[in-house]
Amino acid sequence: MSIATKTNLRLEILISTINRNSLDFLEKLFPNSSFKNFNLLIINQTTKTCVLVSKYANVRVINSFAKGLTNSRNLALENAKGSICLIADDDVIYHPNFDDIIIKSFDTHTEADVITFKMKDLEGKDFKTYENSKWHDLKSLKQVNSVTVAFKLEKIKASNVQFNPNFGLGSTFETADEYIFLRDCLKTDLKLWFESKYLLSHNFNSSGRKEGDDKIIFARSAVFYKYHGFKGYLKLIHYLFLIKQKGFITNKHFFKKFKIGFQGISTYKKLVKSGQEKQ
């Protein structure tokens, strides 16, 4: 592959990170090839005393003093240039030829506006239970991790889809940002394809894995109410039974976790009432 240049922007990787003052962290992301071979847009959420600077034409940096992962993602969307973009975090490890897999997938599935892929944990095991390649529906979106999402930038911008600032790390509800983003894509009639191929590896113990944590229950309850209204309370109870069966919570803590979920729904309803959320 040739060294990336400003005129070769077929694929651009949109990396969210915090408090960086060096590009050294990129070496771990790309162990099979130099980061100089890829077009990167880095959103560095930081302070004025810790800024990141790039001397490479293929690496653009925006130092942002805002907080929250969705704010980082949206800033990347606003400033992206690649015709195809890949959402990224600063702790993934890309597999060999991952970029070719993405480009070929879009070339093969020309109707797809968004394509999601698979990833492994650091032991080489599937990160989730994946299906065969298929067109996404509401159910299959629940299995998607944000760092496996690639999209046609022109289509996303034309649809005016952005990440919901109330969801995601650093926000009121610290999960489900990618699910809401992809669901909004479906709502605007974009076509979403799942490609059963691996792009990267990631630590198994990611934030989305902590199903019994208070902040996850708090956030998922808000999502239940957002899309199901009053039935969201029943969804909450069902979810608690499921994670209890998996051993994430015990009978002893069941009612406590329900109260946390109830608080999540109450907080979401307040955001709706204030106009910060739409039911």
Mean pLDDT of 221-237: 97
For the stretch 5-45, pLDDT in tens is 444 569 999 999 999 999 999 999 999 999 999 999 999 99
The secondary structure element, H or E, covering residue 53 is none
For the stretch 167-223, pLDDT in tens is 999 999 999 999 999 999 999 999 999 999 999 999 876 544 578 899 999 999 999
> Do 219 and 191 fall into the same domain?
no
Could you give the count of Cα atoms lying within 13 Å of 216 in the half-sphere of its Cβ? 13
The residue out of 207, 231, 246 marking a domain boundary is 207
> Do 166 and 58 fall into the same domain?
yes
Q: What is the pLDDT of residue 45?
A: 98
CA nearest 120: which of 151, 136, 98, 142? 98
Question: Is-contact 203 121, C-beta < 8 A?
Answer: yes
> Do 178 and 116 fall into the same domain?
yes
> Do 85 and 107 fall into the same domain?
yes
Into how many domains does the chain fold? 2
Is 3 inside any structural domain?
no
Q: Judge residue 157's burial from the number of C-beta atoms within 10 Å of its C-beta, 0-12 exposed, 13-18 middle, 19 or more buried.
A: middle
For the stretch 54-110, pLDDT in tens is 999 999 999 999 999 999 999 999 999 999 999 999 999 999 999 999 999 999 999
CA angle, residues 7, 9, 11, in degrees to nearest 5: 165
Question: Is-contact 232 189, C-beta < 8 A?
Answer: no
Count of C-beta atoms within a 10 Å radius of residue 202: 19
> Do 70 and 133 fall into the same domain?
yes
Which CATH number goes with the domain that contains 194? Answer: 3.90.550.10
> Do 219 and 200 fall into the same domain?
no
Q: What is the pLDDT of residue 211?
A: 84
Residue 104: give the domain boundaries.
11-207
Question: Is-contact 31 93, C-beta < 8 A?
Answer: yes
Q: Judge residue 211's burial from the number of C-beta atoms within 10 Å of its C-beta, 0-12 exposed, 13-18 middle, 19 or more buried.
A: middle
| pTM (predicted TM-score) | 0.93
Question: Is-contact 169 89, C-beta < 8 A?
Answer: no
